[in-house]
Amino acid sequence: MCINPRLVAILRGFRCLVEPVELPLNCAIGHALKRLRSERGLTQKDLAAMVSGGLDYTYIGKIERGEQLPSLKILIGISEALGVPVSVFFGGETAAEAARLRVVQAGKAGELEKELRVLHPDDLPLVVEIVRLLNRHRRAERKKAYQTPAGSLPLAAEDGPSYSKP
């Protein structure tokens, strides 16, 4: 059973109270598919008929409910039928979201530029060091996020025979 995406969005807003919540891949793909299909006013039958090679509409429903994880070939067919990049199903941004993000970033860059223009020259080394520190912190956080805890390794990877040549 999948977690409600609205609940996930609410929980992400309270990061200080809970650990970040990530949907299982099958649920994330299913929720994205349902949202995209609904936005376009398509039924499951409509979408199934649009996919190159054809799909059974019940399979679309199973994907949306997180009961089936589609193959990459099927996901590509669905993304082509919907006119979106495959990355949308993996948390990638839609074109509208990316454009909105660029506008926000441009506004923030302008704000930063304005503040830097009035900055006292003696404070510039401190500002540079603060930015470096922030960047180091972000890199460390990303690195930590990609490390696999030893307890989460499959049993086959833990205490097994060595297969190296003697």
- Looking at the predicted structure, is the pLDDT value of residue 119 above 70? yes
- Range scoring the smallest mean pLDDT among 21-25, 59-63, 114-118: 21-25
**Are 69 and 25 in contact, with CB atoms under 8 Å apart?**
yes
70 lies in some domain:
yes
Domain count, the chain: 2
Residue 11 and residue 80 share a domain: yes
- Distance, CA of 79 to CA of 32 (rounded, Å): 11
- Distance, CA of 158 to CA of 166 (rounded, Å): 20
Residue 19 and residue 85 share a domain: yes
Residue 41 and residue 110 share a domain: no
- Looking at the predicted structure, is the pLDDT value of residue 21 above 50? no
- Looking at the predicted structure, is the pLDDT value of residue 18 above 50? no
Residue 86 and residue 19 share a domain: yes
Residue 86 and residue 10 share a domain: yes
Share the mean pLDDT of the chain: 75
Residue 61 and residue 107 share a domain: no
CB-neighbour burial class of residue 120 (10 A; exposed 0-12, middle 13-18, buried 19+): exposed
Please state the pTM of the whole predicted model: 0.48
**Are 33 and 60 in contact, with CB atoms under 8 Å apart?**
yes
Tell me which of 17 and 43 has the higher pLDDT.
43
pLDDT interval class at 5 (50, 70, 90)? low
Residue 93, pLDDT score: 54
Residue 66 and residue 17 share a domain: yes
Residues 6+ apart with CB under 8 A from 40: 82
Mean pLDDT along residues 38-59: 92
Structure tokens at 48: 């199934």
